[in-house]
Structure 1
Amino acid sequence: MTGRRDRPPRGDRLIALFLLALVLFNPPLLQAFGAPGFLFGWPALMLYIFGVWLAVIALLALAVERQPGDERPADEGQG
């Protein structure tokens, strides 16, 4: 037995990314950035929400687009 599961390996990454987003958008953490304060004229809470949102989307794109065979050398198949 090789230890492989029925679901693809990137499924574990997607679950981990969901749990990370769940923690990052948790109300106690949002309250920490909800204090009155501005960065570059923008409220800190708004910058935090959009920054985390952008990071989650970027990590999601990386997790979905990466295929198991992507680790092959670049010159393979050029012939």
Structure 2
Amino acid sequence: MTARRGSREDGKPPRRDRMVALFLLGLLLFNPPLLRLFGVEGEIFGVPVLYAYILGVWAAMIALAALAAERR
């Protein structure tokens, strides 16, 4: 049986597809309308909420990129 173009025999999507999906997720999470939701008064451990959101999402994106790029 032949595998469809863009998929592997074990059913997992290729690394490129995962990276494209991660890029699109990043676009969504760093979209200005969503950032405005976190531009409120308040702090988390002394850090403004918007900065905490941006740094948290940035760290999560790096971790997800590392998982997506990992070879098995």
- Name the TM tier (shorter chain): 0.7 to 0.9
How far apart in 2 are the matches of 1:35 and 1:2?
50
Distance 1:55 1:20 in 2: 11
Paired AA for residue 58 in structure 2: W
Counterpart residue identity of residue 64, structure 1: A
In structure 2, C-alpha distance between the alignment counterparts of 1:26 and 1:53, rounded to whole Å? 13
Find the counterpart in structure 1 of residue 57 from structure 2. 52
What TM-score do the two structures reach when normalised by structure 1?
0.76
Aligned equivalents of 2:29, 2:3: Cα separation in 1:
35
Letter in 2 for 1:3: R
What is the alpha-carbon distance in structure 2 between the residues aligned to residue 3 and residue 52 of structure 1? 34
User: Could you say what the CA RMSD is over the residues aligned between the two structures, in angstroms?
Assistant: 1.7
**Unmatched runs of 5 consecutive residues or more in structure 1:** 71-79
Larger Rg: 1
TM-score normalised by the chain length of structure 2: 0.83
Which ranges of 4 or more aligned residues in structure 1 deviate by more than 3 Å? none
Q: Equivalents in 2 of 1:2, 1:61: separation in Å? A: 26
Matches for 1:1-79 after TM superposition, within 5 Å? 1-5=2-6, 9-65=14-70, 67=71, 70=72
Shift of residue 36, structure 1, vs aligned partner? 1.0
